[in-house]
Each structure stands twice: as C-alpha cells, then as structure tokens.
Amino acid sequence: MVDFLSPKERSVRMSRIRGKDTKPELSLRKVLHGLGFRYRLHVADLPGKPDLVFPKYKTVVFVHGCFWHRHPGCKIATTPKTNTEFWIEKFEKTKERDVRARKALEEAGWSTLVVWECELDSMKRALETGKRIGEKIKMSGQEN
C-alpha cells in the first residue's frame, strides 16, 4: 500500500494521536463513574502511568489501543505494509514496556486490569465492559 501523505503530513497526523483521554478511555470512565466508582487519572508516580487508578481497591486499569499494544487476534492489530521492521520493533518495545509496568505494579501490591479499545467500540459494549471491569475491580482489589 502506497502512503498517500507526504512525510510532513504523516508527521502532523501522527502527532495528533492522543495518549490519554482517548475516546475508549472516556467511554469506560463514563460507565465506571455512573456505577459509583471514583478514580484518579494517569498517576505519574505509578509504573506505566495507569489510565485509571482506584486507590480504594488498590487496582489500576490500562485502556490499551488494539493497534499500538497489539491486541492478540484483533482485526485492528495489523502491521503496516511499509517500514515493517520499524513497526515490529516499535510494537515489541511497547509490549515489553507494558509487561514491565504490570509486573512492577503487581510486585507493589496493585491489581492490574487491561481493557482493549475494541471492547469499548460501541456504547452497548462499553456498558457491558464497564460492568464487567467494575465487578473485577471489586473482586480483585482489597478495599482499604
């Protein structure tokens, strides 16, 4: 597949990709807040800077984009046809960083949950996923 954008246009487009407050993250936050959960956002002093932190339950949630974090078996997790070696290396580093962050959090006594972008792609799925995650938060974390 030929890239239809110039390098400068591609750079501008890539720079607009958000790392936090993404649409999937906002959908999950809305559902969990509606279920009565209160959380902190993007806590910088925790490994991996989790998207949602539930101190009361000592549980964190990462909302991962299927493409960037390589959701196994997901149709969104494709590898670009150009510059393939670059992308494979980039994806591997991202996956390794994810594993390190979760391991460090778990060693510090935190429960970790991952929600994938495709689990939040409609309001119905976001509601179902939010309810499921809410139950896991209650079950996995010890209430302080």
Residues of the domain holding 95: 21-139
Per-residue pLDDT of the chain (144 residues; tens, 9 = 90+): 455 657 776 566 655 565 678 899 999 999 999 999 999 999 999 999 999 999 999 999 999 999 999 999 999 999 988 889 999 999 999 999 999 999 999 999 999 999 999 999 999 999 999 999 999 999 986 555
CATH number of the domain where residue 101 is located: 3.40.960.10
Q: Does some domain include residue 95?
A: yes
Cα(73)–Cα(117) distance, rounded to whole angstroms?
Answer: 13
Q: Does some domain include residue 12?
A: no
Q: Does some domain include residue 100?
A: yes
Q: Does some domain include residue 5?
A: no
CB < 8 Å & 24+ apart, contacts of 125-131: 126/24, 126/27, 126/28, 126/30, 126/31, 127/31, 129/28, 129/31, 130/27, 130/28, 130/30, 130/31, 130/32, 130/34, 130/35, 131/31, 131/35
Q: Does some domain include residue 76?
A: yes
pLDDT for position 136: 95
Q: Does some domain include residue 144?
A: no
| Domains held by the chain: number | 1
